[in-house]
Amino acid sequence: MTPGAQVAAAIDILTAIETENRPADNASADYFRSRRYIGAKDRAQIAGHVYAVSRHRAGLDWWLTRSAIVAGSRSRVLAGLVLLEGWRPDAILACCDGDRYRPAPLDDAEKRLVRRLAGHTLQHPRMSRAAASDLPEWLEPHLDRVFGETLEREMAALNVPAPTDLRVNLLKTDREGARRALAAEHVEATPTRWSLQGLRLRQSLPLGNLAAFKDGLVEVQDESSQIAALLADARPGMRVVDFCAGAGGKTLALAAGMANRGKLVACEVSQRRLERATRRLRRAGAHNVERRVLSGERDKWVKLHAGSFDRVIVDVPCLGTGTWRRNPDAKWRVHPEDLIKLTRRQQQILRSAARLVRPGGRLIYATCSLLQEEDEAQAEAFVAADPDYSLLPVARVWPQTVGGAAPGGGQYLRLTPAQHDTDGFFVAIFERQRCPSEF
Protein backbone atom coordinates (compact mmCIF):
# COMPACT_ATOMS: atom_id res chain seq x y z
CA MET A 1 0.00 0.00 0.00
CA THR A 2 1.07 3.56 -0.58
CA PRO A 3 1.41 5.92 2.40
CA GLY A 4 -1.71 7.68 1.15
CA ALA A 5 -3.70 4.46 1.12
CA GLN A 6 -2.57 3.74 4.68
CA VAL A 7 -3.72 7.20 5.76
CA ALA A 8 -7.09 6.71 4.03
CA ALA A 9 -7.55 3.39 5.81
CA ALA A 10 -6.79 5.00 9.18
CA ILE A 11 -9.39 7.70 8.52
CA ASP A 12 -11.98 5.05 7.63
CA ILE A 13 -11.31 3.06 10.81
CA LEU A 14 -11.41 6.15 13.03
CA THR A 15 -14.69 7.16 11.39
CA ALA A 16 -16.17 3.75 12.21
CA ILE A 17 -14.94 4.03 15.80
CA GLU A 18 -16.55 7.44 16.24
CA THR A 19 -19.81 7.06 14.34
CA GLU A 20 -20.56 3.52 15.55
CA ASN A 21 -19.12 3.96 19.08
CA ARG A 22 -17.02 0.82 18.63
CA PRO A 23 -13.76 -0.22 20.28
CA ALA A 24 -10.72 0.42 18.11
CA ASP A 25 -9.59 -3.20 18.09
CA ASN A 26 -13.00 -4.42 16.90
CA ALA A 27 -13.33 -1.76 14.22
CA SER A 28 -9.79 -2.45 13.00
CA ALA A 29 -10.30 -6.22 12.96
CA ASP A 30 -13.48 -5.90 10.91
CA TYR A 31 -11.80 -3.52 8.47
CA PHE A 32 -8.86 -5.84 7.90
CA ARG A 33 -11.04 -8.96 7.80
CA SER A 34 -12.92 -7.55 4.82
CA ARG A 35 -9.65 -6.56 3.11
CA ARG A 36 -7.43 -9.60 3.45
CA TYR A 37 -5.12 -8.28 0.75
CA ILE A 38 -3.67 -5.82 3.30
CA GLY A 39 -0.37 -7.26 4.55
CA ALA A 40 1.05 -7.30 8.06
CA LYS A 41 3.39 -4.33 7.55
CA ASP A 42 0.61 -2.18 6.11
CA ARG A 43 -1.69 -3.16 8.98
CA ALA A 44 0.95 -2.09 11.47
CA GLN A 45 1.32 1.30 9.77
CA ILE A 46 -2.43 1.83 9.66
CA ALA A 47 -2.81 0.82 13.31
CA GLY A 48 -0.02 3.22 14.19
CA HIS A 49 -1.98 6.12 12.70
CA VAL A 50 -5.22 5.00 14.40
CA TYR A 51 -3.75 4.56 17.86
CA ALA A 52 -1.68 7.76 17.68
CA VAL A 53 -4.88 9.73 17.16
CA SER A 54 -6.75 7.73 19.82
CA ARG A 55 -4.06 8.32 22.42
CA HIS A 56 -3.69 12.03 21.78
CA ARG A 57 -7.15 13.12 20.69
CA ALA A 58 -7.51 15.80 23.35
CA GLY A 59 -4.27 17.51 22.35
CA LEU A 60 -5.06 17.25 18.65
CA ASP A 61 -8.53 18.71 19.21
CA TRP A 62 -6.97 21.64 21.08
CA TRP A 63 -4.84 22.48 18.04
CA LEU A 64 -7.80 22.04 15.68
CA THR A 65 -9.98 24.37 17.75
CA ARG A 66 -7.14 26.91 17.85
CA SER A 67 -6.94 26.66 14.05
CA ALA A 68 -10.74 27.01 13.60
CA ILE A 69 -11.02 23.50 12.11
CA VAL A 70 -13.85 21.14 13.02
CA ALA A 71 -12.48 18.07 14.81
CA GLY A 72 -13.18 14.82 13.01
CA SER A 73 -11.42 11.68 11.85
CA ARG A 74 -9.82 13.30 8.80
CA SER A 75 -8.72 16.52 10.51
CA ARG A 76 -7.32 14.60 13.50
CA VAL A 77 -5.30 12.32 11.24
CA LEU A 78 -3.90 15.30 9.31
CA ALA A 79 -2.96 17.09 12.55
CA GLY A 80 -1.50 13.86 13.95
CA LEU A 81 0.68 13.30 10.91
CA VAL A 82 2.33 16.68 11.56
CA LEU A 83 2.37 16.91 15.36
CA LEU A 84 2.87 13.26 16.31
CA GLU A 85 4.64 11.67 13.34
CA GLY A 86 6.62 14.61 12.01
CA TRP A 87 5.32 14.61 8.44
CA ARG A 88 6.15 17.65 6.32
CA PRO A 89 3.22 19.50 4.68
CA ASP A 90 4.42 18.65 1.16
CA ALA A 91 4.42 14.92 2.03
CA ILE A 92 0.82 15.16 3.24
CA LEU A 93 -0.23 17.04 0.11
CA ALA A 94 1.43 14.38 -2.03
CA CYS A 95 -0.32 11.44 -0.34
CA CYS A 96 -3.73 13.14 -0.32
CA ASP A 97 -4.20 13.50 -4.07
CA GLY A 98 -7.59 11.84 -4.51
CA ASP A 99 -6.18 8.95 -6.51
CA ARG A 100 -7.63 5.47 -6.01
CA TYR A 101 -7.48 4.34 -2.35
CA ARG A 102 -5.95 7.66 -1.28
CA PRO A 103 -7.61 10.57 0.58
CA ALA A 104 -9.23 13.44 -1.27
CA PRO A 105 -7.02 16.51 -1.88
CA LEU A 106 -6.73 18.98 0.99
CA ASP A 107 -8.98 22.01 0.82
CA ASP A 108 -7.62 25.48 1.51
CA ALA A 109 -8.36 25.34 5.25
CA GLU A 110 -6.62 21.96 5.58
CA LYS A 111 -3.60 23.25 3.67
CA ARG A 112 -3.36 26.18 6.07
CA LEU A 113 -3.69 23.77 8.99
CA VAL A 114 -0.80 21.49 8.08
CA ARG A 115 1.42 24.45 7.23
CA ARG A 116 0.59 26.20 10.49
CA LEU A 117 1.29 23.08 12.55
CA ALA A 118 4.60 22.35 10.85
CA GLY A 119 7.49 22.75 13.30
CA HIS A 120 5.25 22.44 16.36
CA THR A 121 4.99 19.57 18.82
CA LEU A 122 1.75 18.39 20.39
CA GLN A 123 2.32 20.12 23.73
CA HIS A 124 1.62 23.83 24.13
CA PRO A 125 1.90 25.94 27.32
CA ARG A 126 -1.63 27.31 26.87
CA MET A 127 -3.27 23.89 26.90
CA SER A 128 -5.56 22.96 29.75
CA ARG A 129 -4.27 20.27 32.08
CA ALA A 130 -6.73 17.77 30.61
CA ALA A 131 -5.72 18.51 27.01
CA ALA A 132 -2.02 18.35 27.86
CA SER A 133 -2.62 15.00 29.61
CA ASP A 134 -4.82 13.68 26.78
CA LEU A 135 -7.87 12.90 28.86
CA PRO A 136 -11.50 14.03 28.84
CA GLU A 137 -12.07 17.32 30.69
CA TRP A 138 -14.77 15.80 32.90
CA LEU A 139 -12.42 13.09 34.19
CA GLU A 140 -9.56 15.41 35.14
CA PRO A 141 -10.91 16.34 38.63
CA HIS A 142 -11.64 12.67 39.41
CA LEU A 143 -8.09 11.65 38.53
CA ASP A 144 -6.61 14.68 40.27
CA ARG A 145 -8.15 13.47 43.54
CA VAL A 146 -6.18 10.25 43.14
CA PHE A 147 -2.85 11.51 41.79
CA GLY A 148 -2.59 15.23 42.53
CA GLU A 149 0.77 16.56 41.42
CA THR A 150 1.73 13.25 39.77
CA LEU A 151 -1.27 13.29 37.42
CA GLU A 152 0.75 14.30 34.36
CA ARG A 153 3.30 11.53 34.98
CA GLU A 154 0.59 8.91 35.37
CA MET A 155 -1.30 10.04 32.27
CA ALA A 156 1.92 10.04 30.24
CA ALA A 157 2.52 6.43 31.29
CA LEU A 158 -1.03 5.54 30.25
CA ASN A 159 -0.29 6.94 26.79
CA VAL A 160 2.64 4.59 26.19
CA PRO A 161 1.75 1.30 24.43
CA ALA A 162 1.69 -1.58 26.90
CA PRO A 163 4.03 -4.57 26.66
CA THR A 164 2.58 -8.05 26.21
CA ASP A 165 2.41 -9.95 29.49
CA LEU A 166 1.97 -13.71 29.60
CA ARG A 167 0.92 -15.85 32.54
CA VAL A 168 2.64 -19.21 32.73
CA ASN A 169 0.15 -22.07 33.03
CA LEU A 170 1.34 -24.00 36.09
CA LEU A 171 -0.90 -26.91 35.14
CA LYS A 172 1.53 -27.68 32.31
CA THR A 173 4.89 -26.08 33.06
CA ASP A 174 6.80 -23.58 35.22
CA ARG A 175 8.13 -20.15 34.32
CA GLU A 176 11.54 -21.37 33.21
CA GLY A 177 9.99 -24.12 31.14
CA ALA A 178 7.71 -21.64 29.41
CA ARG A 179 10.59 -19.25 28.82
CA ARG A 180 12.63 -22.02 27.18
CA ALA A 181 9.67 -23.03 25.01
CA LEU A 182 9.30 -19.45 23.80
CA ALA A 183 13.05 -19.14 23.23
CA ALA A 184 12.91 -22.23 21.04
CA GLU A 185 10.56 -20.24 18.81
CA HIS A 186 12.94 -17.23 18.87
CA VAL A 187 10.76 -15.24 21.27
CA GLU A 188 12.58 -13.46 24.07
CA ALA A 189 10.66 -13.24 27.35
CA THR A 190 11.76 -11.80 30.68
CA PRO A 191 10.27 -12.41 34.15
CA THR A 192 7.72 -9.88 35.33
CA ARG A 193 8.61 -7.76 38.34
CA TRP A 194 5.83 -8.77 40.72
CA SER A 195 4.10 -11.92 39.54
CA LEU A 196 6.19 -15.10 39.80
CA GLN A 197 3.98 -16.59 37.09
CA GLY A 198 4.54 -13.82 34.58
CA LEU A 199 6.68 -13.32 31.49
CA ARG A 200 6.92 -10.10 29.51
CA LEU A 201 7.41 -9.70 25.79
CA ARG A 202 8.73 -6.39 24.54
CA GLN A 203 7.94 -7.11 20.91
CA SER A 204 4.46 -7.43 19.47
CA LEU A 205 3.84 -10.68 17.61
CA PRO A 206 0.92 -12.96 16.66
CA LEU A 207 0.83 -15.29 19.65
CA GLY A 208 -1.70 -17.59 18.05
CA ASN A 209 1.03 -18.95 15.78
CA LEU A 210 3.30 -20.00 18.66
CA ALA A 211 3.39 -23.62 19.80
CA ALA A 212 3.82 -22.48 23.42
CA PHE A 213 0.48 -20.67 23.16
CA LYS A 214 -1.36 -23.34 21.17
CA ASP A 215 -0.18 -26.00 23.64
CA GLY A 216 -1.53 -23.99 26.59
CA LEU A 217 1.80 -23.25 28.24
CA VAL A 218 1.09 -19.51 28.38
CA GLU A 219 -1.92 -17.18 28.33
CA VAL A 220 -2.07 -13.46 27.68
CA GLN A 221 -2.77 -11.66 30.97
CA ASP A 222 -1.47 -8.33 32.24
CA GLU A 223 0.66 -8.61 35.34
CA SER A 224 -1.86 -6.58 37.36
CA SER A 225 -4.61 -9.10 36.63
CA GLN A 226 -2.26 -11.97 37.50
CA ILE A 227 -1.63 -10.35 40.89
CA ALA A 228 -5.35 -10.02 41.58
CA ALA A 229 -5.78 -13.75 40.97
CA LEU A 230 -2.83 -14.56 43.23
CA LEU A 231 -4.26 -12.40 46.03
CA ALA A 232 -7.45 -14.46 45.92
CA ASP A 233 -5.34 -17.27 47.44
CA ALA A 234 -7.37 -20.03 45.78
CA ARG A 235 -5.85 -23.31 46.94
CA PRO A 236 -6.30 -26.97 45.95
CA GLY A 237 -9.52 -28.43 47.36
CA MET A 238 -11.26 -25.08 47.88
CA ARG A 239 -14.65 -24.01 46.54
CA VAL A 240 -14.15 -20.84 44.51
CA VAL A 241 -16.30 -18.53 42.35
CA ASP A 242 -15.13 -16.14 39.66
CA PHE A 243 -18.31 -14.07 39.73
CA CYS A 244 -17.66 -11.86 36.69
CA ALA A 245 -15.54 -14.29 34.68
CA GLY A 246 -15.65 -12.52 31.32
CA ALA A 247 -13.49 -14.41 28.82
CA GLY A 248 -11.87 -16.41 31.62
CA GLY A 249 -8.47 -14.84 32.24
CA LYS A 250 -8.70 -14.95 36.03
CA THR A 251 -10.60 -18.24 35.93
CA LEU A 252 -7.61 -19.83 34.21
CA ALA A 253 -5.24 -18.39 36.81
CA LEU A 254 -7.44 -19.58 39.68
CA ALA A 255 -7.68 -23.09 38.19
CA ALA A 256 -3.89 -23.28 37.98
CA GLY A 257 -3.55 -22.13 41.60
CA MET A 258 -5.98 -24.86 42.63
CA ALA A 259 -4.02 -27.49 40.64
CA ASN A 260 -7.31 -28.72 39.15
CA ARG A 261 -8.45 -29.85 42.62
CA GLY A 262 -11.59 -28.46 44.22
CA LYS A 263 -14.57 -26.71 42.64
CA LEU A 264 -14.28 -23.52 40.57
CA VAL A 265 -17.37 -21.85 39.12
CA ALA A 266 -17.02 -19.27 36.35
CA CYS A 267 -20.12 -17.06 36.30
CA GLU A 268 -21.03 -14.69 33.46
CA VAL A 269 -24.13 -12.96 32.16
CA SER A 270 -22.84 -13.24 28.58
CA GLN A 271 -23.08 -16.66 26.93
CA ARG A 272 -20.68 -15.50 24.19
CA ARG A 273 -17.94 -14.53 26.63
CA LEU A 274 -18.34 -17.77 28.53
CA GLU A 275 -17.98 -19.73 25.29
CA ARG A 276 -14.67 -17.96 24.68
CA ALA A 277 -13.61 -18.97 28.18
CA THR A 278 -14.52 -22.59 27.43
CA ARG A 279 -12.06 -22.74 24.54
CA ARG A 280 -9.30 -21.24 26.67
CA LEU A 281 -9.97 -23.63 29.56
CA ARG A 282 -9.75 -26.62 27.24
CA ARG A 283 -6.43 -25.44 25.82
CA ALA A 284 -5.04 -24.86 29.32
CA GLY A 285 -6.10 -28.28 30.60
CA ALA A 286 -8.28 -26.83 33.38
CA HIS A 287 -10.74 -29.58 34.38
CA ASN A 288 -12.28 -28.39 37.65
CA VAL A 289 -14.29 -25.48 36.22
CA GLU A 290 -18.06 -25.30 36.04
CA ARG A 291 -19.33 -22.63 33.64
CA ARG A 292 -22.59 -20.94 34.56
CA VAL A 293 -24.52 -18.24 32.73
CA LEU A 294 -26.40 -16.01 35.17
CA SER A 295 -29.47 -13.93 34.39
CA GLY A 296 -28.00 -11.20 36.60
CA GLU A 297 -26.39 -10.69 39.97
CA ARG A 298 -29.67 -11.75 41.66
CA ASP A 299 -29.87 -15.07 39.81
CA LYS A 300 -31.51 -17.87 41.81
CA TRP A 301 -28.27 -19.84 41.69
CA VAL A 302 -26.70 -17.27 44.03
CA LYS A 303 -29.41 -17.77 46.64
CA LEU A 304 -29.21 -21.56 46.36
CA HIS A 305 -25.45 -21.55 47.01
CA ALA A 306 -25.30 -18.83 49.64
CA GLY A 307 -22.57 -19.23 52.24
CA SER A 308 -20.88 -22.20 50.55
CA PHE A 309 -17.66 -20.90 48.95
CA ASP A 310 -14.20 -20.27 50.37
CA ARG A 311 -13.27 -17.57 47.88
CA VAL A 312 -15.33 -15.31 45.64
CA ILE A 313 -13.53 -12.93 43.30
CA VAL A 314 -15.52 -10.08 41.76
CA ASP A 315 -13.81 -8.16 38.95
CA VAL A 316 -16.65 -5.74 38.32
CA PRO A 317 -17.48 -3.79 35.15
CA CYS A 318 -15.92 -0.33 35.36
CA LEU A 319 -14.85 2.64 33.23
CA GLY A 320 -11.58 0.85 32.46
CA THR A 321 -9.36 3.88 33.08
CA GLY A 322 -6.49 1.58 34.03
CA THR A 323 -6.48 -0.07 30.59
CA TRP A 324 -5.93 3.04 28.49
CA ARG A 325 -2.44 1.84 27.51
CA ARG A 326 -4.15 -0.95 25.55
CA ASN A 327 -7.48 0.71 24.78
CA PRO A 328 -6.80 4.46 24.37
CA ASP A 329 -10.01 4.97 22.41
CA ALA A 330 -12.02 3.88 25.47
CA LYS A 331 -11.42 7.22 27.21
CA TRP A 332 -13.50 8.98 24.55
CA ARG A 333 -16.42 6.54 24.79
CA VAL A 334 -17.24 7.17 28.47
CA HIS A 335 -19.36 9.92 29.98
CA PRO A 336 -20.26 11.20 33.48
CA GLU A 337 -23.56 9.31 33.46
CA ASP A 338 -21.64 6.08 32.82
CA LEU A 339 -19.74 6.53 36.07
CA ILE A 340 -22.98 7.06 37.98
CA LYS A 341 -24.58 3.93 36.51
CA LEU A 342 -21.48 1.80 36.97
CA THR A 343 -20.87 2.68 40.61
CA ARG A 344 -24.45 1.76 41.41
CA ARG A 345 -24.10 -1.49 39.50
CA GLN A 346 -20.77 -2.32 41.15
CA GLN A 347 -22.29 -2.12 44.61
CA GLN A 348 -25.19 -4.34 43.56
CA ILE A 349 -22.84 -6.96 42.14
CA LEU A 350 -20.55 -6.86 45.17
CA ARG A 351 -23.40 -7.28 47.65
CA SER A 352 -24.89 -10.17 45.71
CA ALA A 353 -21.55 -11.97 45.34
CA ALA A 354 -20.95 -11.52 49.08
CA ARG A 355 -23.85 -13.87 49.79
CA LEU A 356 -21.85 -16.78 48.35
CA VAL A 357 -18.98 -16.55 50.85
CA ARG A 358 -18.91 -18.93 53.83
CA PRO A 359 -17.97 -17.74 57.35
CA GLY A 360 -14.20 -17.32 57.42
CA GLY A 361 -14.09 -17.12 53.62
CA ARG A 362 -12.88 -14.18 51.56
CA LEU A 363 -14.42 -11.84 49.03
CA ILE A 364 -11.99 -10.18 46.60
CA TYR A 365 -13.15 -6.99 44.89
CA ALA A 366 -11.18 -5.89 41.82
CA THR A 367 -11.38 -3.24 39.12
CA CYS A 368 -9.20 -2.08 36.24
CA SER A 369 -10.04 1.47 37.35
CA LEU A 370 -8.01 4.36 38.71
CA LEU A 371 -10.98 6.25 40.16
CA GLN A 372 -11.69 6.43 43.88
CA GLU A 373 -15.42 6.28 43.17
CA GLU A 374 -15.00 2.79 41.73
CA ASP A 375 -12.30 1.67 44.14
CA GLU A 376 -11.81 2.80 47.75
CA ALA A 377 -15.24 4.40 47.97
CA GLN A 378 -16.92 1.15 46.95
CA ALA A 379 -14.90 -0.89 49.45
CA GLU A 380 -15.71 1.52 52.29
CA ALA A 381 -19.41 1.60 51.39
CA PHE A 382 -19.57 -2.19 51.33
CA VAL A 383 -17.97 -2.65 54.76
CA ALA A 384 -20.15 0.07 56.24
CA ALA A 385 -23.30 -1.62 54.92
CA ASP A 386 -22.46 -5.25 55.81
CA PRO A 387 -21.33 -5.96 59.41
CA ASP A 388 -20.56 -9.58 58.48
CA TYR A 389 -17.46 -8.42 56.64
CA SER A 390 -14.23 -6.74 57.63
CA LEU A 391 -11.41 -5.45 55.47
CA LEU A 392 -8.37 -7.73 55.28
CA PRO A 393 -5.31 -5.57 54.48
CA VAL A 394 -3.62 -6.50 51.23
CA ALA A 395 -0.26 -5.96 52.96
CA ARG A 396 -1.07 -8.94 55.19
CA VAL A 397 -2.10 -11.25 52.32
CA TRP A 398 0.63 -10.29 49.83
CA PRO A 399 3.63 -12.05 51.47
CA GLN A 400 1.87 -15.43 51.51
CA THR A 401 0.39 -15.18 48.00
CA VAL A 402 2.66 -13.00 45.85
CA GLY A 403 5.81 -12.86 47.98
CA GLY A 404 7.85 -10.05 49.46
CA ALA A 405 6.33 -6.77 50.59
CA ALA A 406 3.24 -5.30 48.98
CA PRO A 407 3.85 -2.12 46.96
CA GLY A 408 2.40 0.73 48.97
CA GLY A 409 1.94 -1.49 52.01
CA GLY A 410 -1.62 -0.34 52.69
CA GLN A 411 -5.12 -1.61 53.18
CA TYR A 412 -5.76 -1.86 49.45
CA LEU A 413 -3.72 -2.58 46.36
CA ARG A 414 -3.54 0.18 43.76
CA LEU A 415 -1.29 -0.45 40.76
CA THR A 416 -0.50 2.17 38.11
CA PRO A 417 1.59 2.19 34.92
CA ALA A 418 3.92 4.94 36.15
CA GLN A 419 4.63 3.40 39.55
CA HIS A 420 4.49 -0.33 38.80
CA ASP A 421 4.72 -0.72 35.01
CA THR A 422 1.38 -2.55 34.91
CA ASP A 423 -2.13 -1.62 33.88
CA GLY A 424 -4.01 0.42 36.44
CA PHE A 425 -5.68 -1.97 38.88
CA PHE A 426 -7.35 -1.99 42.31
CA VAL A 427 -7.92 -4.85 44.77
CA ALA A 428 -9.70 -4.94 48.13
CA ILE A 429 -10.00 -8.12 50.21
CA PHE A 430 -12.81 -8.75 52.69
CA GLU A 431 -13.20 -11.58 55.19
CA ARG A 432 -16.56 -12.87 56.39
CA GLN A 433 -16.59 -12.81 60.16
CA ARG A 434 -19.93 -14.22 61.27
CA CYS A 435 -22.56 -16.74 60.31
CA PRO A 436 -24.50 -15.81 57.18
CA SER A 437 -27.55 -13.63 57.66
CA GLU A 438 -30.96 -14.88 56.65
CA PHE A 439 -31.28 -15.06 52.88
Is 217 in contact with 227 (CB distance < 8 Å)?
no
Is 228 in contact with 313 (CB distance < 8 Å)?
yes
Question: In 3D, which of 269, 359, 266, 256 has the Cα closest to residue 307?
Answer: 359
To the query of whether residue 95 is one of the catalytic residues in this protein, the response is: no
List Cβ<8 Å contacts ≥24 apart for 291-297.
Answer: 291/245, 291/265, 291/266, 292/265, 292/266, 292/267, 292/268, 293/267, 293/268, 293/269, 294/267, 294/268, 294/269, 295/269, 296/269, 297/348, 297/349, 297/352, 297/353
List Cβ<8 Å contacts ≥24 apart for 290-294.
Answer: 290/263, 290/264, 290/265, 290/266, 291/245, 291/265, 291/266, 292/265, 292/266, 292/267, 292/268, 293/267, 293/268, 293/269, 294/267, 294/268, 294/269
How many whole angstroms separate alpha carbon 160 and alpha carbon 309?
Answer: 40
Q: Which residues pair with 263 in a beta bridge?
A: 239
**Active-site position among 95, 96, 368, 435:** 368
Active-site residues, by number, are 368
